[in-house]
Amino acid sequence: MSAPTSGGGSLADRISKPDTMNAQAESFQPTSGTSWADEVASPATENPSAVTKVDEKKPKESKPEAPASESVSQVDGATAPFGGSELQEPEFEVEVKLADMQADPNNPLYSATSFEQLGLEENILKGVMAMNFRKPSKVQEKTLPLLLMDPPQNLIGQSQSGTGKTAAFVLNILHRLDLSTEQKQKTPQALVLAPSRELARQIVGVVKVMGSYMPGLIVDAAVPQDAASRGRKIEASVVVGTPGTVMDMIRRRAMDVRGLKVLVLDEADNMLDQQGLGDQCTRVKAMLPKNIQLVLFSATFPDNVVKYAQNFAPNVNQMTLQHKDLTVEGIKQIYLDCDSDQAKYDCLVRFYGL
């Protein structure tokens, strides 16, 4: 069956954005330098199930420092191939509520305008530059000082994709690692729980890039595997996985949790939307040391997420966004005017480059 034609031009010519639907449609002309897939690709993880370790014998050259921007806002939003960090900086206000009710959340102690202010090691700062970050985003500016406090404090944060929250909790993880001996390099010290294996592997990619200048760093993904690799043992300082697989590995003693310092629960709202994942996260937490730092992030905070977060990590510092600003401008929405099922199919094939 051939795709029907329309008097309004080609299918690509009919692509419209919601806010310009009455304007003349712009023609779709793919660029020769970067494909659509390159634009949305997550950090490369060619073999996600494999353990990655930084080669101590081949120190990496320092990445040249990004040029300072004259603008007060984050010069960002471009994808990595074009020199950006893929971070979108929307206009919103970040509100902080401290567990210590007598403390002032507006105190400069709880805010950072540069990564150098945070007291991070030089190797971690090099990793930040490798991610093409110029300065902390608004979310990072408020959450990083709270996450990096000593002694560690728990945090519940509200943040969406594209605001830098993954980099925030990854920086905290890298800051707290002890990689002084080979044994410690192979002992889990930080655990991140994600609702899907795809998200887990994306987070693994961020840890690898941001920790690429840290000798001895080993990162592993605890996600559903084939039967042949199910019996393997986790020997990594940072573990990112799905709740069910992590719980199974702990029960089989394939993962030693006695040295864990940080537990991160990412996309808590998505966890609770999927039957059983929230309960599995609670069970995993019960298997871990009692003095572990707890970090929970969620894009939204409906009543069920609020109740779950309060039980998961009571008496914590909280970071929220104003309700009217929950939509991130960096996430674009378009619709395609297709006049038949075949036209929809043809468009998807072209859109994904199949």
Q: What is the pLDDT of residues 243-278, one digit of tens each?
A: 999 999 999 999 999 999 999 999 999 998 887 899
Considering the chain, tell me which residue range(s) the CATH 3.40.50.300 domain(s) occupy: 51-325
Tokens of 198: 């795809």
51-325 homologous superfamily: P-loop containing nucleotide triphosphate hydrolases (3.40.50.300)
In the prediction, which pLDDT does 226 show? 62
Between 322 and 208, where is the model more confident?
Answer: 208
Tell me which amino acid residue 38 is. Answer: D
Query: Can you name the residues that pair with 192 across neighbouring β-strands?
Result: 240, 264
pTM score, whole prediction: 0.66
Query: Can you name the residues that pair with 264 across neighbouring β-strands?
Result: 192, 295
pLDDT tens for 111-139 read 578 898 888 999 999 999 988 888 888 88
**Statement: residue 228 has pLDDT above 80:** no
pLDDT tens for 187-206 read 999 999 999 999 999 999 99
In the prediction, which pLDDT does 167 show? 92
> Can you tell me the mean pLDDT for 1-7?
46
**Candidate from 21-30, 196-205, 281-290, 299-308 with smallest mean pLDDT:** 21-30
Angle at 213 between CA 208 and CA 216, to 5 degrees: 75
Tokens of 19: 């806010």
Angle at 142 between CA 139 and CA 143, to 5 degrees: 80
In the prediction, which pLDDT does 216 show? 96
**Statement: residue 72 has pLDDT above 70:** no
> Can you tell me the mean pLDDT for 87-110?
52
Tokens of 206: 């961020």
pLDDT tens for 73-85 read 344 443 454 344 5
